[in-house]
Chain A
Amino acid sequence: MKAFFKKSFALTDQGASDLVKSSLATFFTYFVNMFPAMLLMLFFDKTLLLNDRSNEFYYIASAATLVLVYIALSIEYNSLYNATYKESENLRIDIARNISDLPLSYFSKHDLTDLAQTIMSDVAALEHALSHAIARIIGFAGFFAIISAMLLGFNVKLGLCVISPIVVYFALLLLSKKVQTRNFYKHYKKLRQNSDSFQEAIELQMEIQSFGMSDDIRAKLYKEVEEGEKIQIRSEFVGAAIISLAGLILYLTHILVIIVGTALLLKGEINILYFLGYLLAGIKIKEGAEANSFNMGELFFVDSAVKRINEIRNAKRQKGEDRELSEFDIELKNVSFSYDDDAEVLKDISFVAKQNEVTALVGKSGCGKTSILRLVSRLYDVTGGEILISNEDIKSISTGSLFDKISIVFQDVTLFDTSVMENIRIGNPQASDEEVKKAGRLANCEEFVERLENGYDTLIGENGANLSGGERQRLSIARAFLKDAPIIILDEIVASLDVHNEKKIQDSLNKLTKNKTVLIISHRLKSIQNVDKIVVIDEGRVESQGKHEDLIKTSKVYRDLIDKTALAEKFVY
């Protein structure tokens, strides 16, 4: 049972066992809620069948009923909400942990804000289902099984009158789920499509307005939304029809008990007490069934949330053991790579980036340079060949040990909503304030930090909203200084900066890269002329490698690039 819960609702161990408990509590409550009806029967026994009991018996029975109902309801309430919010906590923490184990590529494939919001709403949906639906359904199922047996035991005919409509009802609900999910999927697909069109219309706002396309786009979106409505009507109505039909069947419980009951009464097969008893039971059970149909609906709905949570849990992890790396040559041996079974972007790439040397990757746009950097930093794993650091395949090294030795300075910098100081300290959480400031100085951050209201203690807003591109870039370089990792990867870091900022960063970079294994991509070919090794990539292969002086003579691709750069530099409008 526990294992089943864990799987079906993406719960943690604790959550699953709490769910077992709260299901028991609701089961118990359903039973206790029958007591008043039984009390009523006992009373009728006295008033209608004239089997006399003392008044005290009824006082005690009534008091006991009141107390038991109260206790049952309290326990149910506590166990439901305690379980829910304990699980809400455990589940969220569990998901957060799982997320931190995901390969980096997972984050580049998803829109991060979307991902975060999806997780929030998925857990919230699950939370609500836990506190309202799941335990109730299970409790009701157990209760229904036992009460059915009892009702059948006392009188088969009346028992069947109460039970069979309810069984048919739930069967229909389950059936409708199949139809509904299929139709729902159609609608969902259309919604997704519409969302994409929306997104495109928003992102391409400038283009749309400056080419006067607003009216066309509006008409197109209108049409899509209208189609969406039609699909929605179609998709929901098949399901709605079945559910409505099912709802009508539920009324059969009353109808059958009354018709069959009066007939049996007439025949003298049962006495009035039986008739009333089945009537009461029928009405109570029908109420329960009805309430649980909403719960069933919620259960269906929570399915997709569970699926997404499990998807995160089951996403492929990057394996590898913790190692202490001591040498930092990076060697690529016959590396090939493709994204998601697309065509290969890298084919048979081999080269060595030596320790204490700067190695630059050069090539036309789309040649595969950036993919190589992503592989070396294990954002992705190679599909063929291997990448060695300290003569170990990086696939066998845990990402933790690997990242410990690598500093990556991206084009895009992520900052946290905290102080400048803490943002730099990310590079090395153990660093003292002095060390952080020193790193800031080395990265030429001083100049702008001093201008900030509270210096290093200034809060920089959500994702550093208050800083310019150049300032963000310098903060990220400061992190790299503080981390002082032996391997440094630089990817087009000046591409989005203006000349002044670029100049400032260049100075910092030379200090940073000293005595490290450096792997760099730069659009500005001149900037890498002096590096120890240039690897020329063309259409996913290594075209040639060597020093600038040699490559000019031997590499056609490199020479082409240099020529084009020269043309661009000399160009005057």
Chain B
Amino acid sequence: MVAIYKKLISYAKEKQHFLFLTIVFSILAAVLQVAAFYYLYKLLENIILLDSMNSAKRYAFMIAGLLAGGGLLYCLSLIVSHLFAFRIETNLRKFGIDGLTNASFKFFDVNSSGRIRKLIDDNAAQTHMAVAHLIPDNTGAMITPVLVLILGFFISLRVGLVLVALIIPSLILLKFMMGEQQFMKIYQASLEKLSSETVEYIRGMQVIKIFGVDVRSFKALNTAIKEYAQNALNYSLSCKKPYVLFQELFFAIVAILIPLILLFVSADADLKLISLELIMVFFLSGVLFTYITKVMYLSMYTFQAQDAVSKLENLYEEMQEDVLQFGDKTEFENHDIEFENVSFGYKKDSLVLDDLSFKLQENKSYALVGASGSGKSTIAKLISGFYNVNSGAVKIGGENITSYSKEALINEISFVFQDPKLFKTTIYENVALANKNAGREEVFEAMRLAGVDGIISKFKNRENTVIGSKGIYLSGGEKQRVAIARAILKDAKIVIFDEASAAIDPDNEHELQKAFSNLMKEKTVIMIAHRLTTIRNVDEILVFEDGKIIERGSDKELMERDSVYKHFQETYKIANDWRVADESVL
């Protein structure tokens, strides 16, 4: 419990006094409330024992004032704890943002964007719920029973003992009420199963509908639903006995005490005094019940807060795993690229590249060729410094890329992704972001060279058209043209182009080719080519297979011998010439 407090405070240091205020307010609230019961006792003592009404009114107002004051203080403590909780939520989100903005690409490779967002959003919100109630209730639940006991003993030894006798079994029952561990485990497991079956059911719904076979998937979901309901019921029933007894103990305590009094109290005892004590037991046991029940929720809130924070921290840790290293060099001697015994894998135990070495020269153009999964995209990403290599070194200008500053690397390399993404802002802004210092003219020139002018002429608002607004949609090829415009504007010395695979919309492909030719001028160019006919003039072609370079040379050299490259070109030609409904293939 203390651990989670400490942890939470660490996320809202600037507001930690709020936590203490909350605690102070809720302690005071508890004191005032119990004090009110003290005066209630005095009032009843006056009325029942002393038959005196003189001070009744005074006591009545004391009680009223104390109750109101206690209530007010409790509200205050809630307000302060909410402010504290809001800040924790905000800071946890910021914590998530920090993680996100420098997370490794590996992290994004293995986690879907929706999942990441949900984890941060939901868990930050969850802590707020837990914290806002955790702190005031926690304090109340710990302090009040103690104060009530003190009051009980103050009234009389008998009242105090009865309350102790009530608290001890109720705490034991409380422990049982948390349910049996084994049921809880089964319950948790079936909840998880249900969750994953639901996800699979819904994700598969299109297929399920189209093939008209809801049987298979639905049966699995059906079973999961039934099992979950049954286990949840079993779990709740396992808590039934202790919970019912617990309630009975508090609700019907007088029905236990009255026969005892009649049996064991001698006839000449002061029955009026006993009545007064009995009524106080009735009231105080009610107060105890309220707060001991809160203890039950406490463990739930504590668990939730702990769970939420640790989920976020795990996520953060995952984000920071393998975070990129940068140095402080800002100047590049030249733009030769070299891989020196590089080994690399996305996952721990499987290498995509194993001890790969090669060199690329400044201002030349290279095409990387190979089947999907052969490692060519990985190489492009490693040159851009997106990942840390497992061993070996990636060098630019003779220096390990980790020795350059982040800005220097960003400025030297442009990467046109296969599936570039656009921000939900204007087309102009989407290009301009590539170079903050560029003037309007330069942005327009870049757009012209990349053929983006042809795209904006389709829209009424031209370059001010907002991407993602109603009905505004760019095709894959068009997006790549915008990405090329960005790269032209950025004017980095090294250009990497991941051509969209296989077929792109035909009305865009040629535009795209022209755009990229404009970008290539006087650059070191690495392209991952899919349309193999286009790369015949590049300076060198590197053919990849299983993370190794198996052939290297100009198109002419490679085509002259019986190379894998030649085979690729032939397959490409056949695939490209293939026709639907072509009898000859059958």
Contacts and interface: CB of A to CB of B under 8 A. Distances in A.
A96 B218 contact: yes
B202 A115 contact: yes
A89 B508 contact: no
A229 B89 contact: yes
A568 B108 CA distance: 34
Interface string B215-231: 11110011001101110
A409 B71 CA distance: 66
Contacts of A47: 271-272, 274-275
B384 A89 contact: no
B216 A530 contact: no
A523 B290 contact: no
A210 B410 contact: yes
Contacts of B254: 36-37, 39-40, 43
Given A88-B232, A212-B410, A258 B43 contact: yes
A201 B79 CA distance: 33
A167 interface: no
B212 interface: yes
A400 B262 contact: no
Given A203-B113, A255-B67, A258-B43, A104 B206 contact: yes
B228 A88 contact: yes
Nearest to B55: A262
Contacts of B389: none
Interface string A466-492: 001110000000010001000000001
Interface stretch (B160-168, B301-309, B572-580): B572-580
A179 interface: no
Contact of A499 (B40, B228, B244, B530): B530
B210 A255 contact: no
B440 interface: no
B505 interface: yes
A567 B511 CA distance: 10
Interface in A97-143: 99-100, 102, 104, 107-108, 111-117, 119-120, 131
A93 B75 contact: no
Nearest to A124: B191
B143 interface: no
Contacts of B259: 58-59, 62-63
Contact of B470 (A204, A342, A496, A498): A342
Contacts of A572: 533-537
Contacts, number: 467
Contacts of A215: 101
A139 to B, nearest CB: 15
B60 A403 contact: no
Interface string A256-283: 0011001101100000100110001001
A507 B586 CA distance: 8
B47 A221 contact: no
B552 interface: no
B478 interface: yes
Contacts of A232: 86
A415 B530 CA distance: 27
B20 to A, nearest CB: 20
B531 A266 contact: no
Contacts of B44: 276
Contacts of B578: 503, 506, 526-527
Given A416-B217, A527-B578, A529-B579, A225 B97 contact: yes
B6 interface: no
Contact of B513 (A92, A206, A499, A573): A573
A86 B233 CA distance: 9
A89 B226 contact: yes
A350 interface: no
B255 A36 contact: yes
A493 B179 CA distance: 53
B78 A81 contact: no
A205 B421 CA distance: 9
Nearest to A571: B513
B209 A403 contact: yes
A551 interface: no
Interface in B142-170: none
B571 A530 contact: no
A266 B420 CA distance: 86
Contacts of A43: 254, 258, 275, 278
A48 interface: yes
Contacts of A66: 248, 252, 255-256
B439 interface: no
A417 interface: yes
B256 A568 contact: no
A411 B478 CA distance: 19
Contacts of A244: 71-72, 75, 78-79
A499 B532 contact: yes
A541 interface: no
A115 to B, nearest CB: 6
A259 B60 contact: yes
A460 B577 CA distance: 33
Interface in B79-103: 79, 82-83, 86-87, 89-90, 93-94, 97-98, 100-103
Interface string B516-548: 110010000001001111111110000000000
B532 A573 contact: no
A206 B56 contact: no
Nearest to A250: B71
Contacts of B530: 498-499
A204 B423 contact: yes
B214 A88 contact: no
B101 A343 contact: no
B504 interface: yes
A248 interface: yes
A510 B64 contact: no
A468 B373 contact: yes
A520 B579 CA distance: 12
A494 B502 contact: yes
A426 B211 contact: yes
A450 B195 CA distance: 33
Contacts of B189: none
Contacts of B68: 248, 251, 255
Contact of A470 (B372, B434, B520): B372
Given A503-B571, A570-B533, A70 B112 contact: no
B282 interface: yes
B503 interface: yes
Interface string A205-220: 1111111111101100
B63 A255 contact: yes
B362 to A, nearest CB: 18
Nearest to B124: A225
Contact of A116 (B203, B504, B585): B203
Contacts of A272: 47-48
Contacts of A514: 586
B243 interface: yes
Interface string A382-403: 0000000000000000011001
A254 B64 contact: yes
A206 B422 CA distance: 11
B510 interface: yes
Given A496-B501, A525-B506, A225 B90 contact: yes
A232 B373 CA distance: 48
B218 A100 contact: yes
Interface string B169-208: 0000000000000000000000000110011111111111
Which residue among B384, B510, B532, B574 has the maximum number of chain A CB atoms within 10 Å of its CB?
B510
A205 B108 contact: yes
Contacts of A381: none
Given A416-B204, A571-B533, 9 more contacts: A63-B255, A85-B233, A113-B112, A204-B421, A251-B64, A507-B585, A523-B502, A527-B579, A571-B510
6 contacts: A36-B282, A43-B254, A210-B384, A266-B56, A408-B210, A527-B580
Nearest 10 CB-CB pairs, A to B? A523-B503, A365-B475, A89-B229, A244-B75, A255-B64, A365-B505, A262-B56, A47-B271, A65-B255, A568-B509
